[in-house]
Amino acid sequence: MSVTTFVPATYYAAVVQCLTETCPNYSQPIDVPELYSNGGTPGVQCGLCQHSMDIVSATVLDPQPEVS
């Protein structure tokens, strides 16, 4: 399994999944079109069970979104 190293202050397109077995989202791939890396440690929370989701894959967005 490869580990993605996230660059701080960068946007990614990602696929995430919930690993909570009792959650309806369990093991379902969910697209996140704009995931911000924060300080290099991005996080996604499941909207149904409120647990952290696993980032399956992430690709740097090119071009990066403009923030106003």
pLDDT tens, the chain, 68 aa long: 455 789 999 999 999 999 999 999 999 999 999 999 999 999 999 999 999 999 999 999 999 999 88
For residue 12, the model assigns a pLDDT of 97
φ and ψ of 34, to 5 deg? -140, 100
Token pair of 18, please?
A: 């919930």
The helix/strand count (H/E) of the chain reads as: 0, 3
For residue 68, the model assigns a pLDDT of 81
For residue 11, the model assigns a pLDDT of 96
Distance CA 61, CA 50 (A): 26
Question: Which residues make beta-bridge pairs with 12?
Answer: 35, 60
For residue 4, the model assigns a pLDDT of 72
